[in-house]
Amino acid sequence: MITARQGELLRFIKQYCLENQGTPPSYDEMKEALNLSSKSSVNALITSLEARGYIRRIPYFARAIEIIRMP
Domain count, the chain: 1
Q: What domain range includes position 33?
A: 4-67
- Domain of 53: which CATH number? 1.10.10.10
For residue 67, give Cα distances in angstroms to 37, 38. 24, 22
Among 30-34, 44-48, 49-53, 60-64, the range scoring the smallest mean pLDDT is 60-64
CB-CB neighbours of 23 under 10 Å:
11
Q: What is the DSSP letter of 35?
A: T
pLDDT band, residue 16 (cuts 50/70/90): very high
